[in-house]
Amino acid sequence: MSAMMNPAMMTGMMKQSFMAQIYQVGISFGLGYFFSGFIMAKLPFGLTEKFKVMMHQGFNIPLLDVSFVSSMSLAFLCIYGLQSLHGLLLSANPMDEDLRMMNPQYMAGGAGAPNQPKDYARLFESEKDSYQLMNYEFALNKAEDYLILKHKKGELFQ
């Protein structure tokens, strides 16, 4: 709410939004213009037939596998797949709002006062008490002995 009251902050948000729009239009136009009607990529995983309309924008080849991607589909994949990289490159503030909110001094609730020191020894002690320890024995440790015993009894290939 405070962002709406501050004109400088609103201007910064508009600039960032405008840069994102230009980026998206540029990627879409560039790939659509230079590679219109081309098969651009093959996805390393299979897709169902319902994705065919979305992935084959710009050409109509009914027998083509769904994992092949047209230029416009590749543009969408680049825009949304590289969104975090785009945010890093065009962001004026390198620390994202989500990361700022995860900072303990901004968190409310059971975190206590922001400047109050934490007793980590007590926290670690309570965590140590809450863990249940168990002895783990790997099942294949005795595999060789079992195989030799089966071979000696003649039961190996029966």
pLDDT of 59-112, one tens digit each? 777 788 888 888 777 777 777 777 777 777 766 565 555 555 565 555 554 455
Tell me the CB-side half-sphere exposure of residue 89, using CA atoms within 13 A: 8
Model pLDDT for residues 20-59, shown as the tens digit of each residue: 788 778 877 887 788 777 787 888 888 888 888 777 777 7
Under DSSP, the state recorded for 51 is G
Residue 121, amino acid: A
Residue 105 neighbours by CB under 8 Å, 6+ apart: 114
Give 97: exposed, middle or buried? Use CB within 10 Å, 0-12, 13-18, 19+.
exposed
CA–CA gap between residue 71 and residue 30 (Å, rounded):
9
Question: pLDDT at residue 148 above 70?
Answer: yes
**What tokens were used for 51?**
């994705």
